[in-house]
Chains A and B, each alone.
Chain A
Amino acid sequence: MSDALSDDGSDINQDDSQEDVIMTPAELIAKLEEAWLNEKFSPELLENKSEVVECVMEQLTHMEDNLQRVKKGDAKASVHRMEIDRIRFMLSSYLRSRLQKIEKFFPHVLEREKSRGEGDPSLLSPEEFAFAKEYYANTETYLKAVALKRMPPNLQTVDMLKAVPEPCLDSFVFLRVKERQDNILVEPETDDQREYVVDLEEGSQHLMRYRTIAPLVSSGAVQLI
C-alpha cells in the first residue's frame, strides 16, 4: 500500500468566532449531510454553512492530491474514489439547493441580507451574495430592455419584492427531534379549534408547520427529513 493514503484523518481545527470547535472529518461529513437535508426540505433559504463547505472541499482536494501520488494498482484507491464521489455529490446537491432558492426568492434574500443587523450571521456566503446581486441586476436589466422601457412612463418599473413570491413559511415539514423540546405551540388550523402545546421528545418524528419550528432548525435541535 502507499503511504499517501495512510495519513489518518487529522482533526480539523475550525475557527469559529465564538469558540474553537474541533471536528473530526467524520463529524464534518455528518454536518454536511445535516445541512444538505435541512436545505432540501426547508421552504426558505437557511443560514450559509461556508465553513463546512470549505472544510469539505479541503478534505476532497487533499484526498484527490493523495490519489494522484498513488501507485497504479492500489486497491485502496478505488475505495477512496467512491467515497469522494459520494461526498462531492452531497456537497454539489447542497449548493444546488441553495442556489435554486436564491434564484427563486432573489429579491427577498437580498432584502434580508440588507436589513441584517451588525453581527447577525449572514444568510448568504460571499460568493452566493455576489451571485444574487448579479442575478437581480441581470433580470432587472432584461425586463427593462425588452418591455418596461417601452411602457407608459408611470409603468416602467416593477417592484421586485412584490412581484416575486416569498417563501411560504406556513408549509408543513417532516422533522426528527435531536434535542428534546418542551411546550412547542401548535396553532389551530380553523377557528373552532384551539391552540395546544406538544413536547418534542428526542428521536421522535413529527409533521407540522415550518414556521413553528424554524428556530429549532437553525439551532440544530431538529433535523428536517
Chain B
Amino acid sequence: MDPSEVEFLAEKETVKIIPNFSLDKIFLIGGDLGPFNPGLPVDVPVWLALNLKQRQKCRVIPPDWMEVEKLEEMRDLERKEDTFTPVPSPYYMELTKLLLNHASDNIPKADKIRTLVKDIWDTRIAKLRLSADSFISQQEAHAKLDNLTLMEINTVRAFLLDSLNCMYKLRSNLQPSSSKGLIDY
C-alpha cells in the first residue's frame, strides 16, 4: 500500500477547529458537518481542517494527546516495555505529520512534539523489526499484532510478506516457476 493511501485514510479522522466564518450545516455523503460559527469549536475531518487552514479560515485545535508531557510519558513507556504499548490514535504518525506540516502555528511546542513522536515511532519500528525477524526465523504461522498501526504494518508489509512467500515456496519445493507458471518464467 502506498503511504499516501494510509495518509488518505488518516485524513478521515476528526479534529476540532475554530472557524472564523459562519456557514450552515453541510450534508455530505459521509455524514453531516457543522454548523460553523466564528469562534465556536466544531469537529471536522482532517482533510477539511487542512484545507480551511490553508485558506486561513480556521484555527486547528491539536488532539488531546498531541502534547509534550503526554508524549514524553508514552515515549518512556514505549522504551520500557518489550511489547507494543497502546497508541493514542491509530494514525498518530500521519496526523502528527499532517498537522505539524500545515498547522504548526496552532500547535504549542511543535518541534518538541515532532521529535517525541519520531522517537516513539523509531522505538516501535525497532521492536517491529525484531519481531518480524523472530517470526521468520522461528517459522511461525500466526502472530498477534495488537496495537500496531496501519502505517507501521505498512513499513514491513512488502518485505515481510515477500520473504514469507519465498520461504514457503522453497519449503514446499516449489520453484517460483515450477509446473505451474509456464508463462510466468
Contact = CB atoms under 8 A, between A and B. Distances in A.
Q: Do A and B bind each other?
A: yes
A206 B142 contact: yes
Given A75-B23, A158-B182, A164-B184, A63 B141 contact: no
B65 interface: no
Contacts, number: 117
B135 interface: yes
A86 B163 CA distance: 33
Interface stretch (B105-113, B115-123, B164-172): B164-172
Interface residues of B, number: 45
25 contacts: A1-B23, A5-B26, A6-B24, A8-B27, A25-B29, A63-B29, A79-B48, A80-B26, A83-B28, A86-B47, A89-B8, A162-B179, A163-B181, A164-B181, A164-B183, A165-B180, A166-B180, A172-B160, A172-B164, A173-B161, A174-B157, A193-B139, A198-B142, A206-B142, A206-B143
Interface of B: 1, 5, 8-9, 11, 21, 23-24, 26-33, 47-48, 51, 135, 139-148, 150, 153, 157, 160-161, 164-165, 168, 171, 179-184
Interface stretch (A44-52, A113-121, A148-156, A181-189): A181-189
B29 A171 contact: no
Given A186-B142, A189-B139, A190-B171, A6 B27 contact: yes
A86 B8 contact: yes
Interface centre among A6, A60, A189 (most CB of B within 10 A): A189
Interface in A1-22: 1, 5-9
Residues of A in contact with B, size category: 35 or more
A122 interface: no
B36 to A, nearest CB: 9
Contacts of A79: 26, 28, 33, 48
